[in-house]
Structure formats: C-alpha cells, structure tokens
Amino acid sequence: PRVVDLRSDTITKPTPEMRQAMKDAVVGDDVFKEDPTVNGNPFRAWKARALSASFYVLFSELERVVAEMFGKEAALLVPTGTMGNLASVMAHCNQRGQEILVGDASHIFLNEQGNVAQIAAVQSWAVPTQPDGSLLIEDLARRVRYRDFHCPKTSLICPQIS
C-alpha cells in the first residue's frame, strides 16, 4: 500500500494523477473573479472538479473533521511542518523575548530555531537529549526560568523527537 508521509512538505511527492489534476485545473485571478473555483457556490465547483475546488472550503472542512476526530474545539491546517512548528511555538509563547526548552538533538533545535528566533522572537535553550531521545526532568527543572526579570521567561518545553 502507498504511504503518505507528512513529516515534511517535500517528502511525499504528488502522484501522476495529482499532477494531471493540477495541469487540468481551471484557474484565474480570484480578485478579478476569473477563478471559477471561488466564484458563486464553491461546493458546486467542488462537485464538478474536486481537485480544483476552493482550497478555503476544502481546508475549512478538513479542519472541522480533524477537530471533531480529536475532540478539539478547532484545528488549523498549515502548508508546511515548519509553519506548524512555528505556529505551535507562537501559540504558547505569546510575548516576544520568551524562551523554549528543547532537546539538543531535536528537530526544532537543529533545524528550526532560526525561524523561532527571527519570526517569533523566542529564544531556544538546549537540554541534553538522552540516548533514548528523552529529556531528563532534572535537566528541565534546572533550566526553567520565570522569576528573574533579567532572563527570558520559560514558556514552553518541546520534547520533540524526530
């Protein structure tokens, strides 16, 4: 069976059928009302051409279904894992200058701390990752900062292993 790997937006490639659907999609500028997928009733367009339907409608429905599946109030679909990780950090660190604790072998520390620092203005502080991928509670406890106004406040611990 074919597996869809969602670790990254570049790992799973479009199938020939997906590429054909993209090639055949009728598109236009939505602002000038040239795109039939957003003009009028988007559900009608979806029935006629499922893959060229309004992404807004499809994403909204997918978000609703996923939220329902996981018993959550809402869900958010983002186009990349990088954006998902950044949005997650920003949801928990909602003030500039806060800090996250991450494993020194974690993906978010090795590959995404630049985004976290530049876009969210959040500092990453690395904790030693154990051979089994875990982080020791003692290491985390020593690094959590919240009392000293000279230091960033620790707002998130990311035990991400990938």
Residues 95 and 62 in one domain: no
Which comes out higher in pLDDT, residue 159 or 32?
A: 159
The answer to whether residue 87 is domain-embedded is: yes
Residues 56 and 122 in one domain: no
The answer to whether residue 88 is domain-embedded is: yes
Q: CA angle, corner 104, sides to 103 and 109, nearest 5?
A: 85
**Containing domain of residue 28, as a range?**
16-69
Residue 56 pLDDT exceeds 70: no
Residues 95 and 45 in one domain: no
Q: Where are the alpha helices (DSSP H) in the chain?
A: 16-24, 42-48, 55-69, 81-92, 107-111, 113-120, 137-143
Residue 54 pLDDT exceeds 50: yes
Residue range 83-98: mean pLDDT, rounded: 92
pLDDT (0 to 100) of residue 38: 59
pLDDT (0 to 100) of residue 159: 86
**Average predicted confidence (pLDDT) for the chain:** 82
